[in-house]
Structure 1
Amino acid sequence: MEQNEELMTSTEAALHEYKMGLGMFTQKMPDIATHYNAFTEACFKEGNLSKKEKHLIALGIAINTQDEYCIIYHAKGCLDNEASEEEILEAVGVTAAFGGGAAMSQAVTLVQECIQELNQLKQ
């Protein structure tokens, strides 16, 4: 672990780990990474749904599939696109209605931790 990683919050460390992994994958498989990144960028462009709404949807899917890296990434996407904590938690509630206890457990732990840590980084 790099020295500066020791000072990171768990959310920052996970985002850093994801970016490092994606960077290594991109070096090894540039064609796939380029096309995948272009596809996801197109999916999250402002359209009939706002970027905020798209990240709220993605957060719900990530919670339901128990994908911790995507939960963190899209919680950050929600906040970066000015979703309020209430909007995020309302989306979490809808997800829990479909995903039950497993979705709720991610919401009451990881999602709330992300909101707290990412909001502290903005200050």
Structure 2
Amino acid sequence: METQHNSTEQALHQYKIGMGQFEEKMPQLVSTFNAFTQECFKEGTLSQKQKQLIALGIGLYSQDEYCIIYHTKGCLDQGCSEEEILEACGVTAAFGGGASLSQAVTLVQECIQELKGTTH
């Protein structure tokens, strides 16, 4: 990958380690945040698959590499095809322009290729 991470899995691992360290220092905040996000991403009128696609788009728009990686994995875990993921990236690029598209054509595609072997 051409990011600060050596691999998608390493980035996910670094996020988990960082969250664990933060949780040791701020347990109530992390517990509340986790409960909130679990509620946001549970199956509802929108499926978990749709919610992951939305989250990926927001991650792309906000240029948050960890969220891009995390939600690309979430999309794959929820059964999204590569075409669905890339179409969501295209919609995001309609709002976020070149910055969003540059993450889609690099980081998202790299994540899909790396994670396909480990998630499916």
Smaller-chain TM-score bracket = over 0.9
Q: Any runs of at least 4 consecutive aligned residues in structure 1 with deviations exceeding 2 A, and if so which? A: none
Say which one has the larger Rg: 1
Measure the CA separation in 1 of the matches of 2:30 and 2:18.
12
Partner of 1:16: 13
By how many angstroms is 1:47 displaced?
0.1
Any idea what the Cα deviations from partners look like across 1:38-70, whole Å, max 9, x if unmatched?
A: 000000000000000000000000000000000
SS of 2:95's partner is: helix
Return the alpha-carbon distance in structure 2 between the equivalents of residues 120 and 31 of structure 1: 36
Please tell me the residue identity of whatever aligns with 2:7: S
Determine whether 1:92 maps to 2:89.
Answer: yes
Is 1:37 aligned with 2:38? no
Q: What TM-score comes out, normalization by structure 1 length?
A: 0.92
Unpaired stretches in structure 2, ≥5 consecutive residues: 1-5
CA distance in 2, matches of 1:102, 1:94: 13
Report % sequence identity: 69
Structure 2 letter corresponding to 1:29:
M
User: Out of 90, 111, 114, which is 2:111 matched to?
Assistant: 114
Q: How many residues align?
A: 116
Deviation per CA, 1:80-115: give whole Å up to 9, x if none: 000000000000000000000000000000000000
Equivalent in the alignment of 1:48: 45
